[in-house]
Structure formats: structure tokens, C-alpha cells
């Protein structure tokens, strides 16, 4: 999705004077390792919708899946802009990441097979998918797969030193 290095900037307004910007490789590794994300989409009437889900970082994008009748999939029909967040629920330790971008449906079956293998490798056999008809299939159901190439990512270092790093992609 995105193979260019982003512009990285530490925001001094929200960072300890001793803080330094987190490099993109470290942020990318955190995205790849994170198991739980929260996705924010927008309903047709403008109200927000937020729900947890697993996601896989691959080829410069976060990937998630959802049934076509689920609220988030219906929201994406009208507005592909999303925010995915991950991190810790503590205020003074850990690292939080916020990924902003547009969700694009993945339908190429070779790519979907690669992503299905990545899901199973990361999350285990419960998340084993078959691929056909441009979607993941699991039991009697199926799910669309979406990729979110980041436009902007924010990283929040919590604890001493507190920091806020922003990565912008072209």
C-alpha cells in the first residue's frame, strides 16, 4: 500500500522536553504486534460508530474484515474514512497508536489468501479463513476484507518521557 517513509515529527506541545520522536520502524512493529484495535466509522446520519476488532499489518496497511451486513461495513459504503486505534488502557505507561486513512476493499484472491494466512499465523486456528468470491469465508458466514493505508499516524508515548509523534504519508 504505502512503501514510502513518512515525514516524522515530534510535537513539542504534547511531549516532554527530553522526548524524542519514535522512528517509523518501531511504530510499524507495534502495529504488526498489536492484537486488538478499535475502528471508528461514521454512520449515514453523521453519528460515530466504534467497535473492537483484530487487524493484520501487511504491505504498509492495516487490514480488517467484517461481514457485509455489519454496521461498520454499511458505514463504509457511504464514507470510507476510518480511524483505527490500539495501545494500552493505562495513562502513564505503554504506547498508543492512532491510524487515519480510507478503507479500500481487497478482492484479489491471491492477496486474500496471503492475508488469510497472516490472520491464522497471528491469531491462531479460530481465525482460519477460506477464500472465494473475493471474500473470507468462515463456517457459514463470510466477510469482506479492507485495507487502510495510513494517511496520518499518531503515536503517544505514556510515562516518562511523555511524547507525541506524528507520521504523515504522501
Local structure of 11: helix, strand or coil: coil
The domains found in the chain, sorted by start residue, are: 7-168 (2.30.110.10)
With 50 as the cut, is the pLDDT of residue 2 above it?
Answer: no
Distance from chain centroid for Cα 34: 9
pTM: 0.95
In 24-113, where do the E strands start and end?
A: 37-42, 48-53, 56-58, 61-66, 81-86, 94-106
What is the predicted pLDDT for the residue at 3? Answer: 52
User: Which pLDDT tens digit goes with each residue over 115-159?
Assistant: 999 999 999 999 999 999 999 999 899 999 999 999 999 999 999
Query: What contacts 25, CB < 8 A, 6 or more positions away?
Result: none
What average pLDDT does range 83-112 have in this prediction? 97
Residue-wise pLDDT tens digits, 62-71? 999 999 999 9
Mean pLDDT of the chain: 96
Amino acid at each position: 500500500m504505502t512503501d514510502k517513509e513518512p515525514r516524522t515529527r515530534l510535537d513539542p506541545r504534547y511531549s516532554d522536553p527530553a522526548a524524542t520522536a519514535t522512528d517509523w520502524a518501531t511504530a510499524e512493529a507495534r502495529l504488526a504486534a498489536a492484537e486488538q484495535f478499535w475502528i471508528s466509522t461514521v454512520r449515514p446520519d453523521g453519528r460515530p460508530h466504534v467497535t473492537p476488532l483484530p487487524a493484520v499489518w501487511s504491505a504498509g496497511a492495516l487490514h480488517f474484515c467484517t461481514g457485509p451486513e455489519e454496521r461498520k461495513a454499511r458505514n463504509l459504503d457511504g464514507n470510507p474514512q476510518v480511524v483505527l486505534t490500539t495501545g494500552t488502557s493505562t495513562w502513564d505507561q505503554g504506547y498508543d497508536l492512532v491510524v487515519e486513512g480510507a478503507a479500500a476493499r481487497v478482492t484479489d484472491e491471491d492477496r486474500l489468501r496471503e492475508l488469510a494466512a497472516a490472520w491464522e499465523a497471528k491469531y491462531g486456528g479460530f481465525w482460519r479463513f477460506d477464500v472465494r468470491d473475493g471474500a473470507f469465508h468462515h463456517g457459514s458466514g463470510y466477510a469482506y476484507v479492507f485495507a487502510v493505508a495510513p494517511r496520518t499516524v499518531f503515536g503517544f508515548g505514556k510515562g516518562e518521557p511523555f511524547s507525541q509523534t506524528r507520521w504523515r504519508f504522501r
